[in-house]
Structure 1
Amino acid sequence: MNDIESIKSLTQLKEGKHINIKTFRKNGESASAPVWFLEDKDKFYICTGGSTFKVKRIRNNPEVQIAASDENGNLKSEYFEGNARILPKDEVDPIYTLFRKKYSGFRIWNFFANLIKKEEKKQVYLEITLK
Protein backbone atom coordinates (compact mmCIF):
# COMPACT_ATOMS: atom_id res chain seq x y z
CA MET A 1 0.00 0.00 0.00
CA ASN A 2 1.41 3.41 -0.93
CA ASP A 3 1.30 6.48 1.33
CA ILE A 4 -1.86 7.92 -0.28
CA GLU A 5 -3.74 4.64 0.09
CA SER A 6 -2.55 4.37 3.69
CA ILE A 7 -3.77 7.89 4.50
CA LYS A 8 -7.14 7.15 2.83
CA SER A 9 -7.51 3.92 4.85
CA LEU A 10 -6.60 5.70 8.10
CA THR A 11 -9.14 8.45 7.34
CA GLN A 12 -11.84 5.80 6.70
CA LEU A 13 -10.87 4.14 9.96
CA LYS A 14 -11.18 7.33 12.02
CA GLU A 15 -14.44 8.57 10.45
CA GLY A 16 -16.57 5.44 10.60
CA LYS A 17 -19.05 4.13 13.15
CA HIS A 18 -17.67 0.59 13.24
CA ILE A 19 -14.31 -1.07 13.17
CA ASN A 20 -13.41 -4.68 12.79
CA ILE A 21 -11.07 -5.73 15.59
CA LYS A 22 -8.90 -8.78 15.08
CA THR A 23 -7.53 -10.43 18.23
CA PHE A 24 -5.29 -13.46 18.50
CA ARG A 25 -5.74 -16.79 20.26
CA LYS A 26 -2.90 -18.47 22.15
CA ASN A 27 -2.21 -20.65 19.09
CA GLY A 28 -1.80 -17.53 16.90
CA GLU A 29 -5.10 -17.97 15.06
CA SER A 30 -7.06 -14.73 14.65
CA ALA A 31 -10.69 -13.94 15.42
CA SER A 32 -12.45 -10.76 14.38
CA ALA A 33 -15.61 -8.87 15.28
CA PRO A 34 -17.22 -5.59 14.23
CA VAL A 35 -17.65 -3.15 17.13
CA TRP A 36 -18.63 0.44 17.89
CA PHE A 37 -15.60 2.60 18.55
CA LEU A 38 -14.37 6.11 18.91
CA GLU A 39 -11.09 7.80 18.12
CA ASP A 40 -9.59 10.45 20.35
CA LYS A 41 -6.07 11.88 20.15
CA ASP A 42 -4.90 9.10 17.79
CA LYS A 43 -6.11 6.33 20.09
CA PHE A 44 -9.10 4.10 19.45
CA TYR A 45 -11.55 3.00 22.14
CA ILE A 46 -13.99 0.10 22.28
CA CYS A 47 -16.61 -0.77 24.89
CA THR A 48 -17.35 -4.48 25.24
CA GLY A 49 -18.37 -7.10 27.77
CA GLY A 50 -15.70 -7.95 30.31
CA SER A 51 -16.11 -11.68 29.75
CA THR A 52 -16.09 -11.64 25.94
CA PHE A 53 -13.58 -13.74 24.08
CA LYS A 54 -11.92 -10.63 22.63
CA VAL A 55 -11.18 -9.37 26.15
CA LYS A 56 -9.88 -12.78 27.21
CA ARG A 57 -7.59 -12.88 24.15
CA ILE A 58 -6.32 -9.32 24.79
CA ARG A 59 -5.47 -10.27 28.38
CA ASN A 60 -3.22 -13.00 26.93
CA ASN A 61 -1.90 -11.04 23.95
CA PRO A 62 -2.38 -7.26 23.59
CA GLU A 63 -1.56 -7.25 19.87
CA VAL A 64 -4.59 -6.42 17.72
CA GLN A 65 -5.43 -5.30 14.21
CA ILE A 66 -8.23 -2.88 13.36
CA ALA A 67 -9.87 -1.90 10.08
CA ALA A 68 -12.81 0.29 9.09
CA SER A 69 -15.91 -1.84 8.55
CA ASP A 70 -19.67 -1.79 8.45
CA GLU A 71 -21.85 -3.24 11.22
CA ASN A 72 -21.58 -6.70 9.63
CA GLY A 73 -17.78 -6.69 9.60
CA ASN A 74 -17.36 -6.05 5.86
CA LEU A 75 -14.03 -4.27 5.57
CA LYS A 76 -13.77 -0.72 4.22
CA SER A 77 -10.02 -0.28 4.77
CA GLU A 78 -6.83 -2.19 5.28
CA TYR A 79 -5.94 -3.51 8.74
CA PHE A 80 -3.69 -1.45 11.01
CA GLU A 81 -1.61 -3.09 13.74
CA GLY A 82 -1.84 -1.91 17.32
CA ASN A 83 -1.70 -2.81 20.98
CA ALA A 84 -4.75 -2.88 23.24
CA ARG A 85 -5.09 -2.41 26.95
CA ILE A 86 -8.06 -2.60 29.28
CA LEU A 87 -8.65 0.80 30.83
CA PRO A 88 -8.68 0.97 34.62
CA LYS A 89 -11.92 2.34 36.10
CA ASP A 90 -10.34 5.70 36.94
CA GLU A 91 -9.73 6.36 33.21
CA VAL A 92 -13.20 5.41 31.94
CA ASP A 93 -15.36 8.52 32.61
CA PRO A 94 -14.04 10.76 29.79
CA ILE A 95 -14.25 7.87 27.30
CA TYR A 96 -17.80 7.03 28.40
CA THR A 97 -18.76 10.67 27.78
CA LEU A 98 -17.27 10.57 24.27
CA PHE A 99 -19.19 7.36 23.47
CA ARG A 100 -22.44 9.04 24.58
CA LYS A 101 -21.74 11.95 22.24
CA LYS A 102 -20.97 9.74 19.24
CA TYR A 103 -23.73 7.13 19.68
CA SER A 104 -27.15 8.44 20.75
CA GLY A 105 -28.30 5.07 22.13
CA PHE A 106 -25.08 4.27 23.97
CA ARG A 107 -26.22 5.36 27.42
CA ILE A 108 -29.30 3.10 27.34
CA TRP A 109 -27.39 0.20 25.76
CA ASN A 110 -24.62 0.48 28.38
CA PHE A 111 -27.14 0.66 31.25
CA PHE A 112 -28.86 -2.56 30.20
CA ALA A 113 -25.57 -4.25 29.34
CA ASN A 114 -24.44 -3.72 32.95
CA LEU A 115 -27.80 -4.09 34.73
CA ILE A 116 -27.66 -7.64 36.07
CA LYS A 117 -24.14 -8.72 35.29
CA LYS A 118 -21.54 -9.73 37.82
CA GLU A 119 -18.62 -7.33 38.11
CA GLU A 120 -16.28 -9.41 35.90
CA LYS A 121 -18.89 -9.48 33.10
CA LYS A 122 -19.70 -5.76 33.09
CA GLN A 123 -18.62 -3.52 30.25
CA VAL A 124 -14.93 -2.71 29.95
CA TYR A 125 -13.21 -0.14 27.78
CA LEU A 126 -10.28 -1.01 25.55
CA GLU A 127 -7.72 1.52 24.39
CA ILE A 128 -5.88 0.73 21.15
CA THR A 129 -2.68 2.47 20.19
CA LEU A 130 -1.58 1.98 16.58
CA LYS A 131 2.00 0.93 15.90
Structure 2
Amino acid sequence: MIPEAVARSPYVSLVTFRRNGTPVATPVWAVAEGTELLVWTRDDSWKVKRLRQDPRVTVTPCDVRGRIAEDARTVEGTGRLLEGADGLGRVRKAMARKYGLRFRLMDVVGALVRGGKRPHVGISVTL
Protein backbone atom coordinates (compact mmCIF):
# COMPACT_ATOMS: atom_id res chain seq x y z
CA MET A 1 0.00 0.00 0.00
CA ILE A 2 1.24 3.46 -0.89
CA PRO A 3 1.19 5.92 2.03
CA GLU A 4 -1.14 8.88 1.49
CA ALA A 5 1.69 11.40 2.02
CA VAL A 6 3.68 9.80 -0.82
CA ALA A 7 0.66 9.61 -3.15
CA ARG A 8 -0.26 13.28 -2.57
CA SER A 9 3.23 14.74 -2.74
CA PRO A 10 4.07 16.59 -5.98
CA TYR A 11 7.65 15.32 -5.67
CA VAL A 12 9.25 12.34 -4.00
CA SER A 13 12.87 11.67 -3.22
CA LEU A 14 13.67 8.43 -5.04
CA VAL A 15 16.80 6.83 -3.59
CA THR A 16 18.64 4.25 -5.67
CA PHE A 17 21.88 2.54 -4.69
CA ARG A 18 25.31 2.44 -6.28
CA ARG A 19 27.15 -0.88 -6.58
CA ASN A 20 29.01 -0.14 -3.36
CA GLY A 21 25.71 0.50 -1.52
CA THR A 22 25.95 4.29 -1.43
CA PRO A 23 22.45 5.83 -1.62
CA VAL A 24 21.74 8.49 -4.25
CA ALA A 25 18.59 10.61 -3.89
CA THR A 26 16.81 12.27 -6.81
CA PRO A 27 13.61 14.36 -6.58
CA VAL A 28 11.11 13.08 -9.17
CA TRP A 29 7.47 13.39 -10.12
CA ALA A 30 5.60 10.25 -9.11
CA VAL A 31 2.04 8.98 -9.45
CA ALA A 32 0.35 6.39 -7.26
CA GLU A 33 -1.53 3.85 -9.37
CA GLY A 34 -2.95 0.86 -7.56
CA THR A 35 -0.15 -0.73 -5.56
CA GLU A 36 2.59 0.94 -7.62
CA LEU A 37 4.29 4.29 -7.64
CA LEU A 38 5.08 5.29 -11.24
CA VAL A 39 8.04 7.49 -12.21
CA TRP A 40 9.02 8.85 -15.65
CA THR A 41 12.67 9.52 -16.47
CA ARG A 42 15.30 9.55 -19.22
CA ASP A 43 16.42 6.06 -20.20
CA ASP A 44 20.09 7.09 -19.94
CA SER A 45 19.81 8.54 -16.43
CA TRP A 46 22.04 7.28 -13.65
CA LYS A 47 19.03 6.16 -11.59
CA VAL A 48 18.06 3.80 -14.42
CA LYS A 49 21.60 2.43 -14.57
CA ARG A 50 21.61 1.92 -10.79
CA LEU A 51 18.21 0.17 -10.90
CA ARG A 52 19.52 -2.27 -13.49
CA GLN A 53 22.14 -3.32 -10.92
CA ASP A 54 20.09 -3.14 -7.72
CA PRO A 55 16.28 -2.89 -7.55
CA ARG A 56 16.21 -1.60 -3.94
CA VAL A 57 14.77 1.90 -3.53
CA THR A 58 13.44 4.19 -0.85
CA VAL A 59 10.81 6.88 -1.36
CA THR A 60 10.15 9.97 0.77
CA PRO A 61 7.91 12.98 0.07
CA CYS A 62 10.04 16.05 -0.71
CA ASP A 63 10.01 19.42 -2.44
CA VAL A 64 11.30 20.25 -5.94
CA ARG A 65 14.86 20.57 -4.63
CA GLY A 66 14.75 17.23 -2.83
CA ARG A 67 14.45 18.73 0.66
CA ILE A 68 12.68 16.38 3.03
CA ALA A 69 10.54 17.60 5.93
CA GLU A 70 11.62 16.47 9.39
CA ASP A 71 8.45 14.46 9.94
CA ALA A 72 8.40 12.82 6.49
CA ARG A 73 8.27 9.03 6.49
CA THR A 74 10.64 7.05 4.26
CA VAL A 75 9.31 3.85 2.71
CA GLU A 76 11.42 1.01 1.31
CA GLY A 77 10.51 -0.68 -1.93
CA THR A 78 11.58 -2.40 -5.12
CA GLY A 79 11.93 -0.65 -8.46
CA ARG A 80 11.61 -2.18 -11.91
CA LEU A 81 11.93 -0.60 -15.32
CA LEU A 82 8.87 -0.39 -17.57
CA GLU A 83 10.49 -0.43 -20.96
CA GLY A 84 8.58 -0.55 -24.20
CA ALA A 85 5.62 1.39 -25.52
CA ASP A 86 2.98 -0.22 -23.27
CA GLY A 87 4.76 0.46 -19.99
CA LEU A 88 5.84 3.94 -20.93
CA GLY A 89 2.40 4.78 -22.31
CA ARG A 90 0.83 3.82 -18.99
CA VAL A 91 3.27 6.03 -17.11
CA ARG A 92 2.71 8.98 -19.48
CA LYS A 93 -1.07 8.75 -19.05
CA ALA A 94 -0.76 8.60 -15.26
CA MET A 95 1.63 11.59 -15.24
CA ALA A 96 -0.72 13.59 -17.48
CA ARG A 97 -3.63 12.89 -15.11
CA LYS A 98 -1.73 14.09 -12.04
CA TYR A 99 0.40 16.91 -13.45
CA GLY A 100 -1.81 17.99 -16.36
CA LEU A 101 -0.54 20.68 -18.68
CA ARG A 102 2.89 20.93 -16.99
CA PHE A 103 3.68 17.32 -17.90
CA ARG A 104 2.22 17.52 -21.39
CA LEU A 105 4.19 20.66 -22.23
CA MET A 106 7.40 19.16 -20.90
CA ASP A 107 6.85 15.95 -22.88
CA VAL A 108 5.92 17.67 -26.16
CA VAL A 109 8.57 20.39 -25.99
CA GLY A 110 11.20 17.80 -25.06
CA ALA A 111 10.22 15.65 -28.03
CA LEU A 112 10.41 18.65 -30.37
CA VAL A 113 13.87 19.57 -29.10
CA ARG A 114 15.04 15.98 -29.64
CA GLY A 115 13.62 15.73 -33.17
CA GLY A 116 10.59 13.65 -32.21
CA LYS A 117 12.52 11.19 -30.08
CA ARG A 118 11.32 10.35 -26.61
CA PRO A 119 14.17 8.51 -24.89
CA HIS A 120 12.31 7.80 -21.67
CA VAL A 121 11.50 4.85 -19.48
CA GLY A 122 8.98 4.28 -16.74
CA ILE A 123 9.88 3.05 -13.29
CA SER A 124 7.42 1.05 -11.23
CA VAL A 125 8.08 1.12 -7.51
CA THR A 126 6.38 -1.43 -5.30
CA LEU A 127 6.46 -0.36 -1.67
Common fold: TM-score over 0.5: yes
The alpha-carbon deviation at position 54 of structure 1 amounts to: 0.6
Matched-pair contact (CA < 8 Å) for 1:22–1:31: yes
For the aligned residues, what is the CA RMSD?
2.2
The alpha-carbon deviation at position 106 of structure 1 amounts to: 0.7
Task: Within 5 Å, give how 1:1-131 maps onto structure 2.
Answer: 10-76=3-69, 77-89=72-84, 90-104=86-100, 105-115=102-112, 116=114, 122-130=119-127
Structure 1 residue runs of 5 or longer lacking an equivalent are 1-6
Structure 2 residue runs of 5 or longer lacking an equivalent are none
The alpha-carbon deviation at position 118 of structure 1 amounts to: 9.7
C-alpha distance 79-91 of structure 1, shift in aligned 2 (>3 A): same
Q: Secondary structure at the match of 1:111?
A: helix
State how many pairs are aligned.
122
The alpha-carbon deviation at position 117 of structure 1 amounts to: 7.2
C-alpha distance 93-118 of structure 1, shift in aligned 2 (>3 A): closer
Percent identity, aligned pairs only? 25
Normalised to the residue count of structure 2, the TM-score between the two structures is 0.85
Matched-pair contact (CA < 8 Å) for 2:88–2:120: no
Normalised to the residue count of structure 1, the TM-score between the two structures is 0.83
The alpha-carbon deviation at position 56 of structure 1 amounts to: 0.6
Structure-2 separation of matches of 1:112 and 1:122: 13
